Amino acid sequence: MTNLDEEQLLAFVDKMPAFRSSVQRLLLLAADLNADSREIVQVVETDPLMTVKILKVINSPFYGLAQKISSVQRAVVHLGINTIKNLALSVAAIGVLPTKNQAGFDTHAFLLHSLTSAALCKLLAERLNVSLMQSSDYFVAGLLHDFGKIVFAEFIPATYKRVLHTADERGINLYQAEIEILGIDHSQAGKLLAQHWGLADDLIEAINHHHSEHRHTQLGDCLFAANQISKKLAFGFAGNSVVDELPPDTAKAFGMNLDELIVELGDLSPIKNEALSFID
């Protein structure tokens, strides 16, 4: 199959699993600056799968808590509502990932790239003085920015295997190989998926433009930089080994180029270790 049109792509996206109602409610609360933390806790607690996974991660060696945490409410006391909210959204994202595919797309490495991009995007948001509440959107953008690739790997595995091989063999950006072979790239698939999941407009916009036609917004700048940093430091792998320099406006926003920004951020290995604690 070549030259995938938008109608075919929409049909594939419609077949992707929907977020559970608890996750949809959590996304709404995450975007609400006035949301009551108690309501967020209640939403998480009504979802047994989410609760079990969050408590497992919180009690992992990475967090090193002296006492075992046995409830979401207690977890909030120790780690804060924003950490719990981001963990819950990560559980939701993992839940829609197929366990395997025939495209040879490594979902474990993909997930590590997604989780580290999410944490880096949030870290960069704080660097640009984005409020702590608003930084949740940055985490979600980093987490889901590449999920359009999952649509391709799931529904056109043989063709997407060829796309991955072409990008690797020629050393070009994956999105360029996608456009050459499919006529469309994963950011466009990601946009449709984000719409399918009912994400906010600014998140849809950031996902849609995280490669070509980069839009200079705080969210767009942080997402672009987080994606490149994750690739540069080999935090997982999402099928694209090409690391792009920051566009001029993005470099200006951070006051430095990509290499200088990585040095400025210091030791980023805890971000990778936290992500590994989540998926191992």
* Rounded-to-integer distance, Cα 190 and Cα 203, Å: 10
Contact predicate 88/26, CB 8 Å: yes
Contact predicate 17/54, CB 8 Å: no
Q: Work out the pLDDT band at 1, boundaries 50, 70, 90.
A: low
Question: Domain check: are 49 and 12 in the same one?
Answer: no
Helix residue ranges, H only, 128-173:
135-144, 148-155, 157-170
Q: What pLDDT digit, counting tens, does each position of 212-267 carry?
A: 666 789 999 999 999 999 999 999 999 999 999 999 999 999 999 999 999 999 99
Contact predicate 64/23, CB 8 Å: no
Residue of 37, 36, 132 whose CA lies nearest to 76: 37
Question: Domain check: are 8 and 68 in the same one?
Answer: no
Helix residue ranges, H only, 197-279:
201-208, 218-232, 248-254, 258-265, 269-279
- Burial group, residue 78, by CB count within 10 angstroms (0-12, 13-18, 19+): middle
Longest CA span, the chain: 55
Question: Domain check: are 31 and 9 in the same one?
Answer: no
Neighbours of 268 (CB within 10 A): 17
Question: Domain check: are 202 and 112 in the same one?
Answer: yes
Question: In the listed set 54, 75, 97, which residue is the last one of a domain according to the structure?
Answer: 97
Q: Flag whether pLDDT at 278 surpasses 80.
A: no
Question: Domain check: are 136 and 274 in the same one?
Answer: yes
Give residue 265's pLDDT: 97
Question: Domain check: are 181 and 78 in the same one?
Answer: no
Q: What pLDDT digit, counting tens, does each position of 13-60 carry?
A: 998 887 778 887 877 777 677 778 888 888 888 888 788 888 888 888
Phi, psi of 275 (to 5 degrees): -65, -40
Question: Domain check: are 78 and 161 in the same one?
Answer: no
Question: Domain check: are 27 and 103 in the same one?
Answer: no
Please name the helix (run of DSSP H) or strand (run of DSSP E) that holds residue 257, with its range, or none. Answer: none
Q: Give the predicted TM-score (pTM) of the model.
A: 0.86
Domain around 272: 1-16+99-279
More confident residue, 95 or 143: 143
Question: Domain check: are 25 and 11 in the same one?
Answer: no
Residue at token pair 């080994």: 241
Secondary structure (3-state) at 144: helix
What is the C-alpha radius of gyration for the chain, rounded to an integer number of angstroms?
A: 18
Neighbours of 34 (CB within 10 A): 6
Q: Flag whether pLDDT at 133 surpasses 70.
A: no
Question: Domain check: are 9 and 88 in the same one?
Answer: no
Give residue 163's pLDDT: 96
CATH number of residue 233's parent domain: 1.10.3210.10
* Rounded-to-integer distance, Cα 194 and Cα 191, Å: 5
Q: Flag whether pLDDT at 272 surpasses 90.
A: yes
DSSP 246: P
Q: Flag whether pLDDT at 61 surpasses 60.
A: yes
Question: Domain check: are 256 and 216 in the same one?
Answer: yes
Phi/psi region, residue 9 (left: phi>0; alpha: psi -120 to 50; beta: rest), is: alpha
Question: In the listed set 78, 97, 116, which residue is the last one of a domain according to the structure?
Answer: 97
Question: Domain check: are 156 and 114 in the same one?
Answer: yes
Q: How many domains does the chain have?
A: 2
Question: In the listed set 97, 113, 139, which residue is the last one of a domain according to the structure?
Answer: 97
Q: Six-digit token pair at 106?
A: 């490594």
